[in-house]
Each structure stands twice: as structure tokens, then as C-alpha cells.
A and B are shown apart, each in its own frame.
Chain A
Amino acid sequence: MLQLILFNVFNGLIVGAFYALMALGLSLIVNLSGVINFAHGGFLALGAYLAYSLMPLVGFWGALVVAPLLTAGLGILIERVLIRRVYGRDPLYSLLLTFGLAYILEDVARYIWGPQSLPYPIPGVLTRPLSTQFFFLTGYRLFMVALVALVVAGLFVVLGRTRLGMRIRAGTMDLETVSALGVNVRVLRNLNFGLGIYLAGLAGVLAAGLLGLQPTIGTSLIMPSFVAIIVGGLGSLPGTLLGGLLIGVASGLATVFMPSASEAIIYVMMGLVLLLRPRGLLGEEGRLK
């Protein structure tokens, strides 16, 4: 029993790490630009498929580095051509635009790589179980958790210590003033969008190794990411991280005791948070608008 619980908590932690990666990217974009990027899941899938196609050329490790960067590049391009046009308009339009993009990205993936699920090979070093008693601790799972932790730490360093990060944080508070101080806000939002999409692409590559590839891989991860943002607190990145991990573990635990509720439980958590603490666990007061 203890082993089963440990297994599912650990599994939940991994799933939560995915949610957190997705949700951090979404949070970055919504905080600075007010756009809920519904196409985030589409970018995630694209990252995964790009890695799949690149792997024969550059190998597993090469794909892990290159695919998210390519995805981010595409994100930057799409922001310039399309998403930029809806900044400052009713949020309705950004939602509809990215909703349409999500449809198109999923269809493109289906068209190029086919609707069937594809296996994503991972190197032998990472697939061996590390312990017979805790059989679920494969190298790949540990590697994933470590990498996500590293990337998230890197993200917080970038946001906290670099000029770009400082501007992003300042822009989240008051974009107009940042603009008046001479920062090119268009470039700032563009780079920030790319940063968010990079995280989605990376989550895609990692998810491919765990779940295999399907065109719908992104759509199944985006809803929990919304929940992670709301549970963690609107406008707070540490909150988003916490929210992602929490709902991951919660749905892992639910798998032990009531498997059919493993998806619904995160929405119950969201309802509770909204009831007891509408701004979310680490959310700032007055950011509900």
C-alpha cells in the first residue's frame, strides 16, 4: 500500500511538473500581455513532433536542446504576425484567435505526422529502473524531474537577475510606465511570448518520452494548466509552480483511492480555492480583474 501511494505521489509529481511548465509559460504571457494563449497545447505538441523528426539527425540530446528553441522561434513569429494585433483589445478576441490557432496547430500535426500515436525512443541509459523495490524510479523519470527543476530555477534566475527579467516583471506591474521609461514594449512582449513558448516546447519533448506522441497531446495538458494558475494565484509565478505540483500530486493520490475521479479532483480543488481564497494560494490582492 505504501509503495502504491509512493508510486502515485511520485507520478503525480511528474505530471505536476508538466502542468507547472505549461502553466508558467501561460502565466508569463497572460501577466504581461493579457492574452490567454489557448494555442499553448498546440505549441507543446509541435515541440514534441519537431523533436521526433530531429532525433535521427541530432540524436536525443540534440533534439532536447534544439526542438524547444525552434518551437520558441515559431512562437515569436506567430506573435509578430497574429497575436500582436489583439493586444489591448477585449480579451474575447485573443481567446478566439488562439483558440483558432490551437485547432490549426493540432490539424497540422495530424496532417504531417499522422493521427496514429508514435513511439518516442529514449536512450538506454535513462530507461533502466534504479531500484527493484521502487520499480517506478526509472532514470527517465528522475531525469525529467531534475531537468524541470533546473529549468524552473533558471527561469526564476532570468526573471530575478537579468535586465530582460527585470523588465518583464516591471511590465507585469505597469506596462505603460515601462514603455515611458524607454523600453521597447513590442520587443519585450515578443521575447516574453517566445520564453513562454520555449517552456511549452520543452514540456512537449519531455512528455513525448513519457507518453508517446499524439496530435492531441497538448490539449489534454492545457486545462489542468489553467487550473494550476487559478489555484496558485493569479499573477504569481511561484504560485503557478506550487499550483501545478499540488494538483499533480492530488490527482496522483486520487488514482490510488478513486481512479475515476483522478481528473475531476483538480476541478474540485479549484472550486474550493475560489470559495475560500478567490485570489489563489499565493495570489496578490486585487488582481482578480
Chain B
Amino acid sequence: MIPARVAAIGLLWLVLLTMPFWINAIGGYTELASRVVVMGLGAMALNFLLGYTGTLSFGHAAYFGLGAYGVGMTLKYLVPSTALGMLIGVLVGTLAAALIGALIVRLRGVYFAMVTIAFGQVFYFISFRWNRVTGGDDGLTGWRRLPLELGALRLDIQASDVAFYYLVLGCFAASVAAMALLLRSPFGRTLLAIRENERRARFLGIAVERHLWLAFVISCAFASLAGTLYALLNNFTDPRALRWDMSGNFVIMAVLGGMRSFWGPLLGAAVFVVLQDYVSSHTENWMSVVGLIFVLVVLFFPRGLLGLLRARNSA
């Protein structure tokens, strides 16, 4: 059983590492590849919370968007440094998550979801209304990602889409490794215990609220990292990056791929992003199609694509 798993993960990395070289041949483009990886990171970040603590946040777009605005505004107003911009983006998103997380960790189930949705809207309205600074509805323009320079090393992510793809993939790999390590640590095991039986975990002396808060903050930190990459990818960000429909997209990606598996959300993101790209260029009624995907996933694939594969294997 173990070699099969290792082979699958090896194949996955091979696909990710070589994607810029064949995606054009099958009708895609390099930016699409970057978008798949960025959204995959966002969905895996959400699933760190959803899949491993069972807590549903329907407001992750807020932190994703804060990351996006963080990097965009840093580059536009403060310093011409992509790396520093990303750092600030992630810090802003994480800080907001730490504050809001503290308010909501006592809620559970539908109410937790409802409050996360509602809080997500605060940042939407701020970005929408604070015209002078954020550009309002038209989005934040007038800035570009700049080449990365680390001593003698120079990565020209501005001119080369492929170089930018590898920056995205590097961030993705580091984040995914960090999440995997966290989930294997005693901390990660404790999260599973809370997911399976919160009352029992509490009786064992586990500080449930503190663990959930920390899981929420970590999850949002990676979501804001994905947000910074998303803004850099587009050289642009607008309030739609942090609206509720973006949050819903992350959730559907996680569920579509399989939220009880570590890699599932990446698969879900790939399917969703490619499908959305295809549908929105072929019909004006893309909303119906996306809505239909939501309905069909809930009715027929509640355990996701990887869950389906796994069920077939064990049967």
C-alpha cells in the first residue's frame, strides 16, 4: 500500500514541476497553471481547519483578500519590494484572523459558519468604500510585481510568467510541507481528537478553544499567503477577492476534491479553476453552471473525488 501512495505523490510533484512545459500544448496557459496552484494553496489552507478540526469557516476570502491588498498596497504606496509586500500581506491577514478568531472560537457548527461569513463582509465593505486608498470597486491598480533579488540571485518574475509560476510553486511547497508537519505533530493529533469528540477532548484536559483558535489563525495565515500570490499573479486586486462568493469557492474546492484527505483540495481546485475558466469564456450564464456544480457535488459527491477513489479501492 505504501509504495502506491509514494508513487502517487511523486507523480503529483512531477506534474506540478513540469506544468509550464506542457500546459500550453493541452490548451491552457501559464497563468492558468499559476492560478490552479494558488487556489490549491487557498483550498488546502481552508481544509487545514475544515478537514482536521471539522470547523467550517465560510469567510476565508477575507484573509485571502487582506493578503492581496496587503501586497498590492505595499508595492503601490510603501516600498518597491515584492518579498516585503508578501510579508506584510501575510502579517495583515494573520493579525485580522487572530483578532476575529478570538471572538468566534466559542461558537460551533452553523453559527460559526454564519459569523465567519458576516465578518468577512467587513473587509469587503472597507475595500469597496475606501475609494481613495483601495481604488474602490475598480480595484487596486497602478502597481506591478517586481523582480525578486536575493543577494546575487535574481528571479525575474516580472518579465517571465514561468519564473513566477516557480515562485508560486516554491511558496506552495513550503506551505504544504509546514502544514503536513503541523498535522503530524502532537498539535495536529489534538485537532483530530477535537474533531472526533470535542467533549471527550475537553475532559482529557485539552484547551479546545485555544487549539481551535490556533488552527484558525494558521489556516488563515496560509490563506493570506495564497492571497498575496493571487494579487501578484494578476498585478491587480479588487473587492471581489474578499467577497463571500470567493469564500464559497474555497469551500467547494475542498469538498469537491475530498476534505478528509490532505491533497484532495488541490485536486478540487484544479478541477474548479479549469472548469470556471472554460465555462466563463463560453457562456454568459456561468453563475448557473457554478451553482449547478455546487448542487451536484452536495447531492452526488459529498466525499469528494478522492473520497470516491478511496471508497472504490477499499471495496
The answer to whether A103 and B118 touch across the interface, beta carbons within 8 angstroms, is no
Chain B: CB-nearest residue to A82: B295
The answer to whether A36 and B110 touch across the interface, beta carbons within 8 angstroms, is yes
The answer to whether B287 and A103 touch across the interface, beta carbons within 8 angstroms, is yes
Q: Does chain A have a CB within 8 A of B181?
A: no
Neighbour of B118 across the interface among A101, A108, A226, CB < 8 A:
A226
The answer to whether A96 and B252 touch across the interface, beta carbons within 8 angstroms, is yes
Give the shortest distance, in Å, between B198 (CB) and chain A (any CB). 10
29 contacts between A and B (CB under 8 A): A34-B109, A82-B295, A90-B56, A91-B109, A91-B110, A92-B56, A93-B298, A95-B110, A96-B251, A96-B294, A99-B248, A99-B294, A100-B295, A101-B294, A103-B290, A104-B291, A106-B287, A107-B287, A108-B288, A223-B244, A226-B117, A230-B115, A263-B121, A264-B122, A264-B125, A264-B129, A274-B103, A274-B104, A289-B108
Residue-wise, chain A 251-276 has the 8 Å CB interface mask toward B (1 for contact) of 00000000011011001101100110
Neighbour of A101 across the interface among B106, B291, B293, CB < 8 A:
B291
What residues of chain B lie closer than 8 Å to A72, measured between beta carbons? none
The answer to whether A36 and B119 touch across the interface, beta carbons within 8 angstroms, is no
What residues of chain B lie closer than 8 Å to A227, measured between beta carbons? 118
Q: Does chain A have a CB within 8 A of B19?
A: no
Q: Does chain A have a CB within 8 A of B297?
A: yes
The answer to whether B255 and A96 touch across the interface, beta carbons within 8 angstroms, is yes
The answer to whether B292 and A288 touch across the interface, beta carbons within 8 angstroms, is no
Q: Does chain A have a CB within 8 A of B22?
A: no
The answer to whether A91 and B290 touch across the interface, beta carbons within 8 angstroms, is no
Indicate whether A107 sits within 8 Å of B104 (C-beta atoms), given known contacts A223-B117, A264-B126.
no
Q: Does chain A have a CB within 8 A of B114?
A: yes
Residue-wise, chain A 192-227 has the 8 Å CB interface mask toward B (1 for contact) of 000000000000000000000000000000010011
Q: How far is the CA of A104 from the CA of B288 in the complex (A)?
A: 5
Q: Does chain B have a CB within 8 A of A32?
A: no
The answer to whether B117 and A288 touch across the interface, beta carbons within 8 angstroms, is no
Q: How far is the CA of A110 from the CA of B285 in the complex (A)?
A: 9
The answer to whether B118 and A230 touch across the interface, beta carbons within 8 angstroms, is yes
What residues of chain B lie closer than 8 Å to A91, measured between beta carbons? 56, 109-110, 113
Which B residues have a C-beta under 8 Å from some C-beta of A?
50, 56, 58, 100, 103-104, 106-111, 113-115, 117-119, 121-122, 125-126, 129-130, 244-245, 248, 251-252, 255, 285, 287-288, 290-295, 297-299, 302
Q: How far is the CA of A102 from the CA of B58 in the complex (A)?
A: 15
Indicate whether A226 sits within 8 Å of B114 (C-beta atoms), given known contacts A95-B58, A264-B125.
yes
Could you tell me how many residues of chain A have their Cβ less than 8 Å away from some Cβ of chain B? 45
The answer to whether B255 and A92 touch across the interface, beta carbons within 8 angstroms, is yes
Neighbour of A36 across the interface among B108, B113, B290, B297, CB < 8 A:
B113
Give the shortest distance, in Å, between A84 (CB) and chain B (any CB). 11
Q: Does chain B have a CB within 8 A of A278?
A: yes
Q: Does chain B have a CB within 8 A of A6?
A: no
The answer to whether B288 and A95 touch across the interface, beta carbons within 8 angstroms, is no
Residue of B109, B114, B122, B293 with highest tally of chain A CB at under 10 A: B114
The answer to whether A97 and B114 touch across the interface, beta carbons within 8 angstroms, is no
Q: Sorted from nearest, which 8 A-B pairs have the closest CB atoms? A: A100-B294, A103-B291, A104-B291, A107-B287, A100-B291, A267-B122, A107-B288, A263-B125
Residue-wise, chain A 71-102 has the 8 Å CB interface mask toward B (1 for contact) of 00000000000100110011111011101111
Residue of A96, A263, A275 with highest tally of chain B CB at under 10 A: A96
Indicate whether A288 sits within 8 Å of B110 (C-beta atoms), given known contacts A104-B292, A107-B288, A263-B129.
no
The answer to whether A288 and B106 touch across the interface, beta carbons within 8 angstroms, is yes
Chain B: CB-nearest residue to A215: B287
Residue-wise, chain A 130-145 has the 8 Å CB interface mask toward B (1 for contact) of 0000000000000000
What residues of chain A lie closer than 8 Å to B294, measured between beta carbons? 96-97, 99-101, 103
The answer to whether A278 and B122 touch across the interface, beta carbons within 8 angstroms, is no
What residues of chain A lie closer than 8 Å to B130, measured between beta carbons? 260
The answer to whether B248 and A96 touch across the interface, beta carbons within 8 angstroms, is yes
The answer to whether A107 and B118 touch across the interface, beta carbons within 8 angstroms, is no
Q: Does chain B have a CB within 8 A of A234?
A: yes
